[in-house]
Amino acid sequence: MNLTAIKAIYVFEMTRFFRTLLQSFISPVLSTSLYFVVFGAAIGSRIDTVEGVSYGAFIVPGLIMLSVMTQSTANASFGIYFPKFIGTIYELLSAPVSFVEIMIGYVGAAASKALLVGLIILGTAFVFVDLRIAHPVAMMAFLVMTCFSFSLLGFIIGIWAKNFEQLQLIPLLVITPLVFLGGSFYSISMLPPVWQTITMFNPVIYLISGFRWAFFGEAEVSIGLSLFAIALFTAVCIAVIGWIFKTGYRLKT
């Protein structure tokens, strides 16, 4: 394992992140505050509790998941796409490093950025609602796993994309709608039976349900199933990345 190569990629990506502190940190805080004003105050005033939890507190895990998934995907996709765009990817491919080391460097940096944003949003939530975390260790574990798995997905998107429009296509048209329809701001038990069944085919519901369990001790999907979904998603992404580097798909052209 070439730790020097991993460190070089990781430090470079993190340095680029900290050069844009205003965009990286202030923007999520403002967005989260607006969500609390709109959903927590306007809608929360009409909904007392959801699953025995105040509505303002209930939406916190969903808000964090929404930001973490989008940030992980965006950071990882841009991180690997930019070297492709300017041509420095060929220097990386010709260096004595394996795809595992390249993946760990870029994905690790993207996951770290998303984790920082998620923790900032969590801190912001304490300002607006009375929030208690039932299983803090499990909460951090779900947060880290989500950051890592969606950074892997973003890494794949960055390699697949041929232009900046395609870079934004999947996050805007696929990931964000799935998060909104995955129980971020409501309990699936509030839906009609038919829509509850349809919602179970949304993979994001398993992530949000497990994360919400870590906060309140209540889950709409079993924790074992949530962990299995994250593990399966991660394994598939790693397998796809391995295939990409083996075949050179959209890396050498």
- pLDDT tens, 152-202? 999 999 999 988 888 888 888 888 888 888 888 888 888 888 888 888 888
What's the confidence (pLDDT) of residue 253? 60
Residue 140 lies in a domain: yes
Per-residue pLDDT, 80: 93
Which one-letter amino acid corresponds to residue 55? Answer: Y
Please check the confidence at residue 203 and state whether its pLDDT lies above 90.
no
Residue 50, beta-bridge partner list:
53
Q: For residues 161 and 81, give the distance between their C-alpha atoms in angstroms, rounded to a whole number.
A: 7
Where residue 54 falls among pLDDT bands split at 50, 70, 90?
Answer: confident
Please give the pLDDT value at position 48. 73
137 has a pLDDT exceeding 70:
yes
Nearest partner of 244 among 84, 85, 110, judged by Cα: 84
Q: Is residue 155 part of a domain?
A: yes
Distance (Å, whole) CA 190 – CA 198: 13
Range of the domain at 242: 3-247
Q: Which two tokens stand for residue 63?
A: 């808000």
Q: Is the pLDDT of residue 77 over 80?
A: yes
Is the pLDDT at 100 greater than 80? The verdict is yes
Q: Counting every residue, how long is the chain?
A: 253
Provide the terminal-to-terminal Cα distance of the chain, rounded to the nearest Å. 27
> Which of 5-9, 35-39, 87-91, 100-104 shows the lowest mean pLDDT across its residues?
35-39
Q: Which residue has the higher pLDDT, 146 or 171?
A: 146
Task: Name the domain count of the chain.
Answer: 1
Residue 182 counted as domain residue: yes
* pLDDT score recorded for residue 45: 65
Q: Is 171 helix (H, G, I), strand (E, B) or coil?
A: helix
Q: How high is the pLDDT of residue 153?
A: 95
Cα torsion angle, 219, 198, 56, 147, sign: positive
> Does residue 222 lie in a domain region?
yes
- Domain-located, residue 253: no
Q: Assess whether pLDDT exceeds 90 at residue 33.
A: no
Q: What are phi and psi of 151, to 5 degrees?
A: -70, -35
pLDDT of residue 192: 87
Buried b (16+ CB within 10 A) or exposed e, 107-116: bbbbbbbbbb
pLDDT of residue 183: 84
Who contacts 74 (Cβ-Cβ below 8 Å, separation ≥6)? 154, 171
Q: What confidence score (pLDDT) does residue 234 get?
A: 94
Least confident stretch, 28-32, 165-169, 181-185, 216-220: 28-32
Q: What is the largest CA-CA distance in the chain?
A: 60
54 three-state secondary structure = strand
Residue 93 in this model has a pLDDT that exceeds 90: no
Predicted structure pTM score: 0.91
pLDDT tens track for 119-134: 988 988 888 888 889 9
